[in-house]
Structure 1
Amino acid sequence: MPDHRAGVPLSVLDIAPVVQGSTAAQALRDTLDLARHAERLGYLRHWFSEHHSTLSLAASAPALLVAEAARATGTLRVGAGGVLLAHQSPLTVAEQFCTLAAFHPDRVDLGVSPALGTMNPDVQIALRGEPGPFAADAFAGRTEELLRLLDPADTGGTVTVTPRPDSRPPVWLVGRDETDGALAGRLGLPFVFGYHFSPHAVDGALKAYRNAFRPSARWPEPYVVLDVMVLLADSEERARYLAGPLEVAALQMSEGRLGPYLRPEAVATAGYTEQQRAHVRVQFESQVVGDPAAARRTLTALLERTGADELMAITIVTDHSARLRSYELLAEVAADLRTR
């Protein structure tokens, strides 16, 4: 089997997609099956996103998903990518992930994100328990507080994190613009850039990160992870067929009515013209959708352009066996790739 150590380090970002005609419970079972599959293939880590009040995704509680995935695997690193600090206090997050680290030493990662996890203001208020928007600059303060709480050398505060495991989870900053990159650099954290969300911002964000980077005890040098949408199949035609539900989902999202992801065979009757689908298909041109040969070319160019240290793949395929196959093909491709 391919191993991440033979080429570029390779990881998984999992949103637990819910498929039309199936259930959220099945989506969660599939995510554990994917974690076991990723471990067998030599993937480095398996992270879970945080999204709220959407019928298309089952990943709303990353700490719980981390716990289940850690139990289902033996060596795979598991983590959040990332916890939304807008909705939880730094102390709550620190104690959740220190508990996870106590059960699973040296296997738990804590990614944090300034995102809100939903565009619905009512849901945002329900999550925070108070009215009014979350101040954009509040994320930096909460991240700094989280780092202080997790610093074993910091004994000056009156708040103590319990439990206190021997190995505390490393903190990663998950972002998608120059502001996020600069903050990650200033705090001496590794930076996970959401290329699948903001591909055109990658150059500026990584430049801001590296320019601002201050070495820390755990991270003496900058470390960049690119979070890329990947959908591979044995042929280009098959990959494009499997990507059909993503095109429909993008159209539904633009109309504010995203539900469970369609199966590929249902795309033709979803009510959208080929012209409409072709219009949103442009959004995926910067991502990796195709056969292994095309993926190798695209990822080689992306690594050379960005100097990324690791690739993290998010693969949304409503056929679970095809999703597993995509990660298998990616592992084969990544074995031939190298970072700078």
Structure 2
Amino acid sequence: MTSSKVLDLPTAVSRYVTDGATVAFEGFGHLIPFAAAHEVIRQRRRGLTLCRMTPDLLADQLIGAGCVSRLVASYFASGSAGALYEIRRRVENADPDPLDVEEYSHYGMVCRYQAGAAGLPFFPLLSYAGSDIPAVNPDIKKVADPYGGPAIYVVPPLRPDVTIVHAQRADRDGNVQMWGIVGVQQEAAYAARRVIVTVEEIVEDPVVRSAPNRTMIPAHKVDAVVHCPGGAHPSYVLDYYVRDNAFYREWTAISRDRRQLLAWLDHWVDRAPDRAAYLDRLGPARWQRLKAGPVPIEPSASLRRDVSTPGGEG
């Protein structure tokens, strides 16, 4: 058994996220590591390359705070709730500074992480046939099929300096368990040199062993485990809290005006020293409304066929 990897969030970020680093923040609609991103903002990291499938509010906030100089991403979206105006200002008008963007499809990003995790020089894929993306991204190349088939597109490996994810739980050794909708957290973790995981709960070893299929990232790949309840808000964590849809809708108006965005960052990030303070500002009533209720394990009686009745299966 390894020694405990439990750190507080400021220590984990200061130890592993340095200026100029390539940092992947992953979580696909679910389990998005907002608290870790806010700590990166508080520590005034600069010159980061941000890697993220579907850059969303998290990306808008990191870019607005001046942390990011380059974005490696696919499908720009605000959780189906509006526009990301900070990203738009940077890309369309270089306002207040330009943003270097390297764009892929969703599957292109998945393949890049897979190549990085497996130590491959590139990864082939078919999805760029007929796409305009290769025309704007010179790193998407076409190579001959060594087995005589038609030429095929390939993408380079993505090997972040640090991958940061959020999860439901982990033990002190760093065995990370997540369930529900997951994205490329596992691939992004194995592709990275260092891995930071924030979790809703830190549990004892027997809990992890009781459900080994939920261990998505094993201890040998994790450098820091951070106990951070509420660390994915405004996204959601299955069985803990639901998505704060109102917050996503509010972000459009906030990000439309850069002064409002900076005021939001000042109030919700810089003046909230940790996640507990952030949730306190959110308010207990709003937070309580987002708490998830008990999840049924079996279908309700009205949907279940009773095998003891005539015509039942058995």
TM-score interval w.r.t. the shorter chain? 0.3 to 0.5
Taking structure 1 as the reference length, the TM-score comes to 0.33
Larger relative helix fraction: 1
Taking structure 2 as the reference length, the TM-score comes to 0.36
Larger relative strand fraction: 2
Q: Point out the structure with max Rg over C-alpha.
A: 2
